[in-house]
Amino acid sequence: MMKTTTPKIQAKSDKKWYLVDATDKVMGRLAADIAVILRGKNKPNFTPHLDMGDYVVVINAEKVKVTGNKEQNMEYIHHTGYWGHLRRFSAEHIRKTNPTRMISQAISGMIPRNRLRKFILAKLSVYAGPEHPHTGQNPITINL
């Protein structure tokens, strides 16, 4: 008879830190690759009900590319909670006001909506420019 084994959860110190430069990368493909790392699906001992992923720091979020006419046609929708206060913004407007929102929302849409979601998304840090405060963790630069 075969027994099913569950891997032990990694300690916080065992998790790796990755640095991703978003300059001239296509946003959807970049978000999909980052979501895989955040969930830990790139590891051989991946288990869906455990948080197996690593930390990811994304820099230069303002320089990410979107293909086609998405810069003008793609909409980011926000509801304030009041009647008639549905706000629609184009990707062009979001890039000018809050460029980190584009990448973080794209990655957020690729993470399952379950109890682990908030813990997985807490390991994501997105910055508009090239500077970030995580140099002490010695992140590994990866090219996606």
Within a domain: residue 79?
Answer: no
Instruction: List, for residues 30-80, the tens digit of each pLDDT value.
Output: 999 999 999 999 998 888 999 989 999 999 999 999 999 999 999 999 999
Within 13 Å of residue 123, how many CA atoms lie on the same side as its CB?
27
CA dihedral sign of residues 86, 124, 30, 61: positive
Q: What are phi and psi of 38, to 5 degrees?
A: -65, -40
Within a domain: residue 92?
Answer: no
Which DSSP category does 61 fall into? G
Q: Please give the residue range of the domain that contains residue 109.
A: 14-66+97-142
Within a domain: residue 130?
Answer: yes
Number of domains in the chain: 1
Residue 39, Cβ density class (10 Å: 0-12 exposed, 13-18 middle, ≥19 buried): buried
Within a domain: residue 86?
Answer: no
| pTM as predicted | 0.90
Within a domain: residue 4?
Answer: no
52 touches 46 (CB < 8 A): yes
> What's the pLDDT score for residue 144?
87
Q: Which residues 6+ apart lie within 8 Å of 89 measured at CB?
A: 75, 76, 77, 78, 97
Instruction: List, for residues 2-39, the tens digit of each pLDDT value.
Output: 888 788 777 766 899 999 999 999 999 999 999 999 99
Within a domain: residue 46?
Answer: yes
| CATH code: domain of residue 104 | 3.90.1180.10
pLDDT band at 1 (very low <50, low <70, confident <90, very high): confident
Within a domain: residue 114?
Answer: yes
Within a domain: residue 6?
Answer: no
